[in-house]
Amino acid sequence: YLEGKSYQEMALELNRHVKSIDNALQRVKRKLERYLEKREH
C-alpha cells in the first residue's frame, strides 16, 4: 500500500484473497486513526 501497489498486486505477492488484504488495511487504518486521536488529547 505504501509502495503504491494495488490490492490485487499485494494479494498475488502474499498469496491471499483481495478481500483479506482490504480487511487488513482497513483494520490498520482504524488503529492508526485511534492512535492519532489519542495523541492529540
Domain count, the chain: 1
Dihedral (Cα; 17, 12, 3, 6), 10-degree rounding: -60
Q: Does 2 have pLDDT greater than 80?
A: no
| pLDDT score recorded for residue 32 | 96
Q: Which amino acid is at 31?
A: K
**Host domain of residue 27:** 7-40
Q: Is residue 33 part of a domain?
A: yes
Q: Is residue 30 part of a domain?
A: yes
> What is the enclosing helix (H) or strand (E) of 12?
helix 7-14
Q: Is residue 2 part of a domain?
A: no
Q: Is residue 1 part of a domain?
A: no
Per-residue pLDDT of 8-25, as tens digits, reads 999 999 999 999 999 999
Q: How confident is the model at residue 1 (pLDDT cuts 50, 70, 90)?
A: low
Q: Is residue 18 part of a domain?
A: yes
Q: Is residue 28 part of a domain?
A: yes
Q: Does 29 have pLDDT greater than 90?
A: yes
| pLDDT score recorded for residue 40 | 84
